[in-house]
Structure 1
Protein backbone atom coordinates (compact mmCIF):
# COMPACT_ATOMS: atom_id res chain seq x y z
CA UNK A 1 0.00 0.00 0.00
CA UNK A 2 1.15 3.54 -0.78
CA UNK A 3 1.82 5.59 2.34
CA UNK A 4 -1.10 7.94 2.90
CA UNK A 5 -0.02 11.56 2.74
CA UNK A 6 -1.07 14.32 5.08
CA UNK A 7 -3.41 15.91 2.55
CA UNK A 8 -5.26 12.64 1.91
CA UNK A 9 -5.64 12.11 5.65
CA UNK A 10 -7.12 15.61 5.97
CA UNK A 11 -9.53 14.94 3.09
CA UNK A 12 -10.61 11.54 4.39
CA UNK A 13 -11.13 12.84 7.91
CA UNK A 14 -13.32 15.67 6.61
CA UNK A 15 -15.28 13.32 4.34
CA UNK A 16 -15.90 10.84 7.15
CA UNK A 17 -17.08 13.57 9.51
CA UNK A 18 -19.50 14.95 6.93
CA UNK A 19 -20.45 11.42 5.85
CA UNK A 20 -21.45 10.41 9.37
CA UNK A 21 -23.94 13.25 9.45
CA UNK A 22 -25.25 12.32 6.02
CA UNK A 23 -25.82 8.73 7.18
CA UNK A 24 -27.84 9.94 10.16
CA UNK A 25 -29.93 12.25 7.98
CA UNK A 26 -30.38 9.53 5.37
CA UNK A 27 -31.88 7.33 8.07
CA UNK A 28 -34.55 9.95 8.63
CA UNK A 29 -34.84 11.22 5.08
CA UNK A 30 -38.56 11.75 5.35
CA UNK A 31 -37.99 14.41 8.03
CA UNK A 32 -35.49 16.51 6.07
CA UNK A 33 -36.29 20.11 5.27
CA UNK A 34 -36.10 20.37 1.51
CA UNK A 35 -36.13 23.52 -0.58
CA UNK A 36 -36.34 23.73 -4.35
CA UNK A 37 -33.55 25.50 -6.23
CA UNK A 38 -34.53 24.61 -9.79
CA UNK A 39 -36.47 22.15 -11.92
CA UNK A 40 -35.71 18.61 -10.74
CA UNK A 41 -32.74 19.98 -8.80
CA UNK A 42 -33.20 19.84 -5.05
CA UNK A 43 -30.99 21.01 -2.25
CA UNK A 44 -31.50 19.57 1.20
CA UNK A 45 -30.56 20.67 4.66
CA UNK A 46 -28.24 17.66 4.74
CA UNK A 47 -26.40 18.94 1.64
CA UNK A 48 -25.84 22.33 3.26
CA UNK A 49 -24.66 20.84 6.56
CA UNK A 50 -22.29 18.51 4.73
CA UNK A 51 -20.74 21.38 2.79
CA UNK A 52 -20.31 23.47 5.93
CA UNK A 53 -18.65 20.57 7.73
CA UNK A 54 -16.24 20.00 4.86
CA UNK A 55 -15.49 23.70 4.58
CA UNK A 56 -14.77 24.09 8.30
CA UNK A 57 -12.56 20.98 8.47
CA UNK A 58 -10.54 21.78 5.36
CA UNK A 59 -10.21 25.49 6.16
CA UNK A 60 -8.82 24.61 9.57
CA UNK A 61 -6.26 22.25 8.01
CA UNK A 62 -5.25 24.55 5.12
CA UNK A 63 -6.34 28.12 6.01
CA UNK A 64 -4.76 29.74 2.94
CA UNK A 65 -6.34 27.46 0.31
CA UNK A 66 -9.37 28.50 -1.73
CA UNK A 67 -12.59 26.60 -2.42
CA UNK A 68 -14.82 25.75 -5.37
CA UNK A 69 -18.08 24.64 -3.76
CA UNK A 70 -21.31 23.36 -5.29
CA UNK A 71 -23.49 25.42 -2.99
CA UNK A 72 -21.14 28.13 -1.74
CA UNK A 73 -19.48 28.99 -5.06
CA UNK A 74 -15.92 30.23 -5.37
CA UNK A 75 -14.06 31.33 -2.25
CA UNK A 76 -10.68 32.80 -3.05
CA UNK A 77 -7.55 31.83 -1.15
CA UNK A 78 -3.86 32.49 -1.68
CA UNK A 79 -3.55 32.45 -5.51
CA UNK A 80 -0.22 30.62 -5.28
CA UNK A 81 -1.75 27.75 -3.29
CA UNK A 82 -4.10 24.92 -4.36
CA UNK A 83 -7.85 24.98 -3.94
CA UNK A 84 -10.44 22.45 -2.83
CA UNK A 85 -13.10 21.39 -5.38
CA UNK A 86 -16.01 19.93 -3.43
CA UNK A 87 -19.35 18.23 -3.98
CA UNK A 88 -20.78 17.72 -0.49
CA UNK A 89 -23.53 15.37 -1.66
CA UNK A 90 -23.29 13.92 -5.15
CA UNK A 91 -26.51 12.05 -5.80
CA UNK A 92 -28.83 14.42 -3.95
CA UNK A 93 -31.92 13.11 -5.74
CA UNK A 94 -31.01 9.54 -4.78
CA UNK A 95 -30.53 10.69 -1.19
CA UNK A 96 -33.88 12.44 -1.03
CA UNK A 97 -35.69 9.41 -2.45
CA UNK A 98 -34.09 6.99 0.00
CA UNK A 99 -31.81 5.39 -2.60
CA UNK A 100 -28.52 4.44 -0.88
CA UNK A 101 -26.16 5.57 -3.63
CA UNK A 102 -24.49 8.94 -3.05
CA UNK A 103 -21.06 10.28 -2.22
CA UNK A 104 -18.86 13.11 -1.01
CA UNK A 105 -16.28 14.22 -3.58
CA UNK A 106 -13.19 16.27 -2.72
CA UNK A 107 -10.33 17.19 -5.07
CA UNK A 108 -7.22 19.33 -4.77
CA UNK A 109 -6.42 21.45 -7.83
CA UNK A 110 -3.16 23.33 -8.31
CA UNK A 111 -2.89 26.85 -9.75
CA UNK A 112 -1.29 27.12 -13.17
CA UNK A 113 2.37 28.09 -13.14
CA UNK A 114 1.63 31.16 -15.26
CA UNK A 115 -0.90 32.31 -12.68
CA UNK A 116 -3.75 32.20 -15.20
CA UNK A 117 -6.42 29.92 -13.83
CA UNK A 118 -6.22 26.40 -12.52
CA UNK A 119 -4.16 23.41 -13.56
CA UNK A 120 -3.89 19.76 -12.63
CA UNK A 121 -5.83 17.88 -9.99
CA UNK A 122 -3.25 16.33 -7.66
CA UNK A 123 -5.34 14.60 -4.97
CA UNK A 124 -8.82 13.12 -4.78
CA UNK A 125 -11.22 11.44 -2.37
CA UNK A 126 -14.64 10.02 -3.18
CA UNK A 127 -16.36 8.69 -0.06
CA UNK A 128 -19.57 6.63 0.00
CA UNK A 129 -21.07 7.00 3.48
CA UNK A 130 -23.46 4.05 3.05
CA UNK A 131 -20.82 1.45 2.11
CA UNK A 132 -18.03 3.22 4.04
CA UNK A 133 -15.80 3.02 0.95
CA UNK A 134 -13.05 5.61 0.49
CA UNK A 135 -11.70 5.87 -3.04
CA UNK A 136 -8.58 8.03 -3.11
CA UNK A 137 -5.73 8.98 -5.41
CA UNK A 138 -2.70 11.22 -5.62
CA UNK A 139 -0.89 12.26 -8.76
CA UNK A 140 1.82 9.72 -9.65
CA UNK A 141 1.01 7.60 -6.57
CA UNK A 142 -1.85 5.50 -7.88
CA UNK A 143 -5.52 5.08 -7.05
CA UNK A 144 -6.78 3.14 -4.08
CA UNK A 145 -9.90 1.79 -2.35
CA UNK A 146 -8.97 1.90 1.30
CA UNK A 147 -5.61 0.04 1.15
CA UNK A 148 -6.25 -1.90 -2.09
CA UNK A 149 -4.72 -0.67 -5.35
CA UNK A 150 -7.24 0.15 -8.08
CA UNK A 151 -6.92 -0.67 -11.77
CA UNK A 152 -9.35 0.02 -14.58
CA UNK A 153 -10.81 -3.11 -16.13
CA UNK A 154 -8.84 -4.89 -18.84
CA UNK A 155 -11.84 -5.67 -21.04
CA UNK A 156 -11.28 -4.63 -24.63
CA UNK A 157 -14.48 -5.77 -26.36
CA UNK A 158 -17.55 -3.58 -26.28
CA UNK A 159 -19.76 -6.66 -26.31
CA UNK A 160 -18.41 -7.55 -22.83
CA UNK A 161 -18.59 -4.05 -21.40
CA UNK A 162 -20.84 -2.42 -18.83
CA UNK A 163 -20.95 1.31 -19.55
CA UNK A 164 -22.15 3.98 -17.12
CA UNK A 165 -23.79 7.23 -18.13
CA UNK A 166 -26.01 10.05 -16.93
CA UNK A 167 -29.33 10.66 -18.63
CA UNK A 168 -30.54 14.22 -19.31
CA UNK A 169 -33.49 15.26 -17.16
CA UNK A 170 -35.73 18.25 -16.74
CA UNK A 171 -33.72 21.40 -17.29
CA UNK A 172 -30.37 19.62 -17.62
CA UNK A 173 -28.55 18.17 -20.60
CA UNK A 174 -29.14 17.68 -24.28
CA UNK A 175 -31.55 14.80 -24.72
CA UNK A 176 -31.22 14.70 -28.51
CA UNK A 177 -27.43 14.41 -28.25
CA UNK A 178 -27.64 11.73 -25.55
CA UNK A 179 -30.23 9.77 -27.53
CA UNK A 180 -27.99 9.77 -30.62
CA UNK A 181 -25.09 8.39 -28.57
CA UNK A 182 -27.25 5.84 -26.76
CA UNK A 183 -28.65 4.55 -30.07
CA UNK A 184 -25.10 3.71 -31.18
CA UNK A 185 -23.69 2.50 -27.86
CA UNK A 186 -26.64 0.41 -26.65
CA UNK A 187 -26.64 -2.32 -29.34
CA UNK A 188 -22.87 -2.85 -28.94
CA UNK A 189 -22.45 -3.38 -25.20
CA UNK A 190 -23.41 -5.86 -22.47
CA UNK A 191 -25.27 -3.19 -20.53
CA UNK A 192 -25.70 0.50 -19.76
CA UNK A 193 -26.22 1.76 -16.20
CA UNK A 194 -27.47 5.08 -14.89
CA UNK A 195 -27.00 5.27 -11.10
CA UNK A 196 -27.25 9.02 -10.55
CA UNK A 197 -23.91 9.99 -8.97
CA UNK A 198 -21.14 10.85 -11.42
CA UNK A 199 -18.36 10.81 -8.83
CA UNK A 200 -19.20 7.21 -7.93
CA UNK A 201 -19.60 6.24 -11.59
CA UNK A 202 -16.04 7.44 -12.19
CA UNK A 203 -14.71 5.82 -9.01
CA UNK A 204 -16.27 2.56 -10.18
CA UNK A 205 -14.53 2.90 -13.55
CA UNK A 206 -11.25 3.26 -11.64
CA UNK A 207 -12.16 0.14 -9.63
CA UNK A 208 -13.02 -1.88 -12.76
CA UNK A 209 -16.68 -2.23 -11.80
CA UNK A 210 -17.68 -0.23 -14.87
CA UNK A 211 -15.67 -0.50 -18.05
CA UNK A 212 -16.33 3.04 -19.29
CA UNK A 213 -18.40 6.16 -18.66
CA UNK A 214 -19.80 9.03 -20.69
CA UNK A 215 -21.85 12.06 -19.75
CA UNK A 216 -22.17 15.75 -20.57
CA UNK A 217 -23.39 18.92 -18.85
CA UNK A 218 -21.65 18.20 -15.56
CA UNK A 219 -19.76 20.57 -13.24
CA UNK A 220 -16.15 20.61 -12.02
CA UNK A 221 -17.09 19.29 -8.57
CA UNK A 222 -18.84 16.30 -10.17
CA UNK A 223 -15.75 15.02 -12.00
CA UNK A 224 -12.58 16.56 -10.51
CA UNK A 225 -11.90 13.72 -8.06
CA UNK A 226 -13.17 10.93 -10.31
CA UNK A 227 -10.99 12.04 -13.19
CA UNK A 228 -7.80 11.68 -11.14
CA UNK A 229 -8.94 8.31 -9.78
CA UNK A 230 -9.36 6.96 -13.32
CA UNK A 231 -6.09 8.37 -14.61
CA UNK A 232 -4.16 7.00 -11.64
CA UNK A 233 -5.88 3.62 -12.17
CA UNK A 234 -4.47 3.48 -15.70
CA UNK A 235 -7.43 4.90 -17.60
CA UNK A 236 -8.12 7.88 -19.82
CA UNK A 237 -10.46 10.83 -19.32
CA UNK A 238 -11.22 13.27 -22.15
CA UNK A 239 -13.98 15.36 -23.63
CA UNK A 240 -15.90 14.25 -26.73
CA UNK A 241 -13.16 15.68 -28.97
CA UNK A 242 -10.47 13.64 -27.22
CA UNK A 243 -8.94 16.54 -25.29
CA UNK A 244 -7.54 15.67 -21.87
CA UNK A 245 -8.30 18.72 -19.76
CA UNK A 246 -7.34 19.03 -16.06
CA UNK A 247 -11.05 18.64 -15.27
CA UNK A 248 -13.40 17.25 -17.93
CA UNK A 249 -16.91 18.25 -16.94
CA UNK A 250 -19.00 19.63 -19.78
CA UNK A 251 -18.23 16.42 -21.71
CA UNK A 252 -16.65 13.26 -20.31
CA UNK A 253 -15.50 9.98 -21.83
CA UNK A 254 -13.59 7.67 -19.50
CA UNK A 255 -12.28 4.12 -19.51
CA UNK A 256 -9.23 1.99 -20.15
CA UNK A 257 -7.27 2.57 -23.35
CA UNK A 258 -9.31 0.19 -25.52
CA UNK A 259 -12.72 1.11 -24.11
CA UNK A 260 -12.03 4.82 -24.20
CA UNK A 261 -10.92 4.60 -27.83
CA UNK A 262 -13.96 2.56 -28.90
CA UNK A 263 -16.43 4.72 -26.99
CA UNK A 264 -14.83 7.90 -28.33
CA UNK A 265 -15.18 6.62 -31.89
CA UNK A 266 -18.83 5.67 -31.37
CA UNK A 267 -19.69 9.03 -29.80
CA UNK A 268 -17.88 10.99 -32.52
CA UNK A 269 -19.65 9.03 -35.26
CA UNK A 270 -23.09 9.29 -33.65
CA UNK A 271 -22.81 13.05 -33.18
CA UNK A 272 -21.68 13.55 -36.78
CA UNK A 273 -24.65 11.53 -38.01
CA UNK A 274 -27.05 13.43 -35.75
CA UNK A 275 -25.74 16.76 -37.09
CA UNK A 276 -26.50 15.88 -40.73
Structure 2
Protein backbone atom coordinates (compact mmCIF):
# COMPACT_ATOMS: atom_id res chain seq x y z
CA UNK A 1 0.00 0.00 0.00
CA UNK A 2 1.32 3.44 -0.98
CA UNK A 3 2.07 5.44 2.22
CA UNK A 4 1.57 8.75 0.40
CA UNK A 5 -1.96 8.11 -0.92
CA UNK A 6 -4.52 10.23 0.92
CA UNK A 7 -8.16 11.33 0.85
CA UNK A 8 -9.56 14.89 0.64
CA UNK A 9 -9.78 14.97 4.45
CA UNK A 10 -6.31 13.51 5.06
CA UNK A 11 -4.48 15.34 2.23
CA UNK A 12 -1.03 16.35 3.41
CA UNK A 13 -0.31 20.04 4.01
CA UNK A 14 3.17 21.19 3.01
CA UNK A 15 5.31 24.32 3.07
CA UNK A 16 7.76 25.01 0.23
CA UNK A 17 11.11 25.46 1.97
CA UNK A 18 9.00 25.74 5.12
CA UNK A 19 6.62 28.69 5.46
CA UNK A 20 8.89 30.69 3.16
CA UNK A 21 6.29 33.39 2.57
CA UNK A 22 6.76 34.60 6.13
CA UNK A 23 10.29 33.53 7.10
CA UNK A 24 13.64 32.94 5.39
CA UNK A 25 13.52 29.71 3.37
CA UNK A 26 15.04 26.50 4.70
CA UNK A 27 15.57 27.82 8.23
CA UNK A 28 14.18 26.75 11.58
CA UNK A 29 12.11 29.93 11.57
CA UNK A 30 10.37 28.80 8.35
CA UNK A 31 9.88 25.26 9.66
CA UNK A 32 8.56 26.55 12.98
CA UNK A 33 6.05 28.85 11.29
CA UNK A 34 4.81 25.96 9.14
CA UNK A 35 4.29 23.93 12.31
CA UNK A 36 2.46 26.84 13.98
CA UNK A 37 0.01 27.04 11.08
CA UNK A 38 -0.58 23.37 10.35
CA UNK A 39 0.27 21.56 13.57
CA UNK A 40 2.04 18.21 13.91
CA UNK A 41 2.38 16.22 10.70
CA UNK A 42 3.04 19.24 8.49
CA UNK A 43 5.48 18.54 5.67
CA UNK A 44 8.33 20.97 5.12
CA UNK A 45 9.90 20.68 1.69
CA UNK A 46 13.56 21.59 1.87
CA UNK A 47 16.78 21.15 -0.10
CA UNK A 48 19.75 18.92 0.62
CA UNK A 49 23.38 19.57 -0.27
CA UNK A 50 26.76 18.36 0.97
CA UNK A 51 29.70 20.47 2.14
CA UNK A 52 33.37 19.92 1.36
CA UNK A 53 33.81 18.08 4.66
CA UNK A 54 30.81 15.81 4.11
CA UNK A 55 28.15 17.55 6.21
CA UNK A 56 24.58 17.31 4.89
CA UNK A 57 23.00 20.78 4.97
CA UNK A 58 19.64 22.33 4.06
CA UNK A 59 20.12 25.00 1.39
CA UNK A 60 18.59 25.43 -2.05
CA UNK A 61 21.22 27.10 -4.20
CA UNK A 62 24.58 25.85 -5.39
CA UNK A 63 26.09 28.90 -3.70
CA UNK A 64 25.42 30.60 -0.38
CA UNK A 65 25.25 34.00 -2.09
CA UNK A 66 21.47 34.54 -2.33
CA UNK A 67 20.27 33.24 1.04
CA UNK A 68 23.15 34.16 3.35
CA UNK A 69 25.48 37.09 3.90
CA UNK A 70 28.40 35.07 2.54
CA UNK A 71 29.78 34.03 -0.85
CA UNK A 72 30.95 30.76 -2.34
CA UNK A 73 30.01 27.30 -3.53
CA UNK A 74 28.45 25.08 -0.85
CA UNK A 75 30.45 22.09 -2.06
CA UNK A 76 33.73 24.02 -1.64
CA UNK A 77 32.99 25.24 1.89
CA UNK A 78 33.25 23.43 5.21
CA UNK A 79 30.31 23.46 7.55
CA UNK A 80 32.42 25.44 10.03
CA UNK A 81 32.57 28.19 7.40
CA UNK A 82 28.87 27.99 6.52
CA UNK A 83 27.59 27.98 10.09
CA UNK A 84 29.08 31.44 10.71
CA UNK A 85 26.80 32.95 8.04
CA UNK A 86 23.41 34.53 8.64
CA UNK A 87 20.73 32.67 6.69
CA UNK A 88 18.02 35.17 7.57
CA UNK A 89 19.28 38.74 7.42
CA UNK A 90 18.57 38.91 3.66
CA UNK A 91 14.88 38.33 4.45
CA UNK A 92 14.50 40.64 7.44
CA UNK A 93 16.79 41.83 10.18
CA UNK A 94 14.71 40.04 12.84
CA UNK A 95 15.92 36.74 11.36
CA UNK A 96 19.61 37.68 11.40
CA UNK A 97 20.51 34.89 13.86
CA UNK A 98 19.14 32.10 11.65
CA UNK A 99 21.78 29.69 10.34
CA UNK A 100 21.94 27.09 7.56
CA UNK A 101 20.74 23.91 9.31
CA UNK A 102 22.63 20.65 9.33
CA UNK A 103 20.38 17.73 8.48
CA UNK A 104 21.28 15.88 11.67
CA UNK A 105 20.13 18.82 13.81
CA UNK A 106 17.06 19.46 11.66
CA UNK A 107 15.95 15.84 12.09
CA UNK A 108 16.15 16.12 15.86
CA UNK A 109 14.10 19.32 15.59
CA UNK A 110 11.57 17.49 13.39
CA UNK A 111 11.18 14.70 15.96
CA UNK A 112 10.52 17.24 18.71
CA UNK A 113 8.08 19.29 16.60
CA UNK A 114 6.30 16.53 14.69
CA UNK A 115 7.50 17.75 11.28
CA UNK A 116 8.10 15.69 8.14
CA UNK A 117 10.81 16.81 5.72
CA UNK A 118 10.57 16.34 1.97
CA UNK A 119 14.26 16.48 1.09
CA UNK A 120 14.91 17.57 -2.47
CA UNK A 121 18.26 16.17 -3.56
CA UNK A 122 20.56 18.84 -4.95
CA UNK A 123 23.74 16.76 -5.10
CA UNK A 124 24.54 14.89 -8.31
CA UNK A 125 27.43 12.66 -9.32
CA UNK A 126 28.39 11.88 -5.72
CA UNK A 127 25.95 9.08 -4.90
CA UNK A 128 28.80 6.85 -3.70
CA UNK A 129 29.58 9.42 -0.97
CA UNK A 130 26.16 10.96 -0.46
CA UNK A 131 23.98 7.84 -0.14
CA UNK A 132 26.04 6.05 2.56
CA UNK A 133 26.19 9.19 4.71
CA UNK A 134 22.46 9.70 4.37
CA UNK A 135 21.67 6.07 5.09
CA UNK A 136 23.94 5.95 8.14
CA UNK A 137 22.35 9.10 9.58
CA UNK A 138 18.81 7.75 9.09
CA UNK A 139 19.72 4.44 10.72
CA UNK A 140 21.49 6.18 13.62
CA UNK A 141 18.51 8.44 14.37
CA UNK A 142 15.77 5.96 13.40
CA UNK A 143 14.05 8.71 11.45
CA UNK A 144 12.82 7.17 8.18
CA UNK A 145 9.28 8.06 9.28
CA UNK A 146 10.20 11.77 9.24
CA UNK A 147 11.30 11.84 5.61
CA UNK A 148 10.39 11.87 1.95
CA UNK A 149 12.99 12.19 -0.82
CA UNK A 150 12.31 14.21 -3.97
CA UNK A 151 14.25 15.01 -7.12
CA UNK A 152 13.93 15.90 -10.78
CA UNK A 153 16.41 13.05 -11.41
CA UNK A 154 14.29 9.89 -11.58
CA UNK A 155 17.37 7.71 -12.08
CA UNK A 156 18.85 9.00 -8.83
CA UNK A 157 15.54 8.46 -7.03
CA UNK A 158 15.39 4.86 -8.20
CA UNK A 159 18.92 4.24 -6.92
CA UNK A 160 18.17 5.98 -3.64
CA UNK A 161 15.01 3.92 -3.09
CA UNK A 162 17.11 0.79 -3.55
CA UNK A 163 19.65 2.04 -1.01
CA UNK A 164 17.09 3.40 1.51
CA UNK A 165 13.81 1.56 0.82
CA UNK A 166 11.97 2.74 3.94
CA UNK A 167 11.72 6.38 2.81
CA UNK A 168 9.04 7.33 0.24
CA UNK A 169 10.23 9.03 -2.94
CA UNK A 170 8.67 11.85 -4.97
CA UNK A 171 9.47 12.55 -8.60
CA UNK A 172 9.37 16.21 -9.60
CA UNK A 173 8.34 17.20 -13.11
CA UNK A 174 7.63 20.39 -15.01
CA UNK A 175 6.75 18.41 -18.14
CA UNK A 176 3.46 16.91 -19.22
CA UNK A 177 4.07 13.15 -19.22
CA UNK A 178 2.52 10.74 -21.73
CA UNK A 179 2.22 7.95 -19.17
CA UNK A 180 3.15 9.31 -15.72
CA UNK A 181 2.19 6.11 -13.89
CA UNK A 182 4.48 3.99 -16.06
CA UNK A 183 7.38 6.38 -15.42
CA UNK A 184 6.64 6.39 -11.70
CA UNK A 185 6.55 2.60 -11.54
CA UNK A 186 9.79 2.28 -13.52
CA UNK A 187 11.50 4.72 -11.17
CA UNK A 188 9.86 3.07 -8.13
CA UNK A 189 8.63 6.41 -6.79
CA UNK A 190 5.61 6.74 -4.51
CA UNK A 191 4.42 10.12 -5.82
CA UNK A 192 4.89 12.61 -8.63
CA UNK A 193 4.61 16.36 -8.14
CA UNK A 194 2.79 17.66 -11.23
CA UNK A 195 3.01 21.04 -12.95
CA UNK A 196 -0.09 23.07 -12.11
CA UNK A 197 -0.63 24.34 -15.65
CA UNK A 198 -0.81 20.77 -16.95
CA UNK A 199 -2.96 19.45 -14.10
CA UNK A 200 -6.31 19.60 -15.98
CA UNK A 201 -4.90 17.14 -18.56
CA UNK A 202 -5.75 14.18 -16.32
CA UNK A 203 -2.30 13.07 -15.17
CA UNK A 204 -3.52 12.86 -11.56
CA UNK A 205 -6.14 10.28 -12.50
CA UNK A 206 -3.56 8.30 -14.48
CA UNK A 207 -1.26 8.28 -11.45
CA UNK A 208 -4.01 7.25 -9.05
CA UNK A 209 -5.12 4.46 -11.38
CA UNK A 210 -1.53 3.19 -11.17
CA UNK A 211 -1.43 3.44 -7.36
CA UNK A 212 0.83 6.52 -7.36
CA UNK A 213 0.20 9.61 -5.20
CA UNK A 214 -0.24 13.06 -6.73
CA UNK A 215 1.45 16.16 -5.30
CA UNK A 216 0.98 19.75 -6.47
CA UNK A 217 2.63 23.10 -5.84
CA UNK A 218 0.28 26.11 -5.84
CA UNK A 219 1.68 29.65 -6.10
CA UNK A 220 0.98 31.80 -3.02
CA UNK A 221 -1.83 34.40 -3.12
CA UNK A 222 0.70 37.18 -3.69
CA UNK A 223 1.55 35.59 -7.07
CA UNK A 224 -2.08 34.86 -8.02
CA UNK A 225 -3.58 38.26 -7.25
CA UNK A 226 -3.11 39.76 -10.72
CA UNK A 227 -4.47 36.68 -12.51
CA UNK A 228 -7.55 36.76 -10.30
CA UNK A 229 -8.33 40.34 -11.36
CA UNK A 230 -8.54 38.99 -14.92
CA UNK A 231 -10.93 36.23 -13.93
CA UNK A 232 -8.39 33.40 -13.66
CA UNK A 233 -9.08 31.76 -10.29
CA UNK A 234 -6.43 29.06 -9.83
CA UNK A 235 -7.37 28.56 -6.19
CA UNK A 236 -10.95 27.65 -7.21
CA UNK A 237 -9.53 24.96 -9.50
CA UNK A 238 -7.33 23.60 -6.70
CA UNK A 239 -10.30 23.42 -4.33
CA UNK A 240 -12.18 21.37 -6.92
CA UNK A 241 -9.21 19.03 -7.42
CA UNK A 242 -8.93 18.44 -3.67
CA UNK A 243 -12.69 17.87 -3.38
CA UNK A 244 -12.51 15.33 -6.24
CA UNK A 245 -9.79 13.38 -4.45
CA UNK A 246 -7.12 14.12 -7.03
CA UNK A 247 -4.52 15.47 -4.59
CA UNK A 248 -2.53 13.69 -1.89
CA UNK A 249 -0.29 16.60 -0.92
CA UNK A 250 -0.57 20.33 -1.62
CA UNK A 251 2.40 22.61 -1.13
CA UNK A 252 2.85 26.37 -1.17
CA UNK A 253 5.24 29.00 0.14
CA UNK A 254 2.25 30.02 2.28
CA UNK A 255 1.10 27.18 4.55
CA UNK A 256 -1.98 29.14 5.66
CA UNK A 257 -3.14 29.14 2.03
CA UNK A 258 -2.93 25.34 1.81
CA UNK A 259 -4.94 24.96 5.01
CA UNK A 260 -7.57 27.38 3.74
CA UNK A 261 -7.93 25.56 0.41
CA UNK A 262 -8.15 22.17 2.14
CA UNK A 263 -10.80 23.44 4.54
CA UNK A 264 -12.84 24.96 1.70
CA UNK A 265 -12.68 21.72 -0.29
CA UNK A 266 -13.93 19.73 2.69
CA UNK A 267 -16.63 22.19 3.81
TM-score normalized by the length of structure 2: 0.26
User: Would you tell me which structure has more strand in proportion to its own residues?
Assistant: 1
Ranked by relative contact order (alpha carbons within 8 Å, sequence separation 6 or more), the top structure is 2
TM-score normalized by the length of structure 1: 0.25
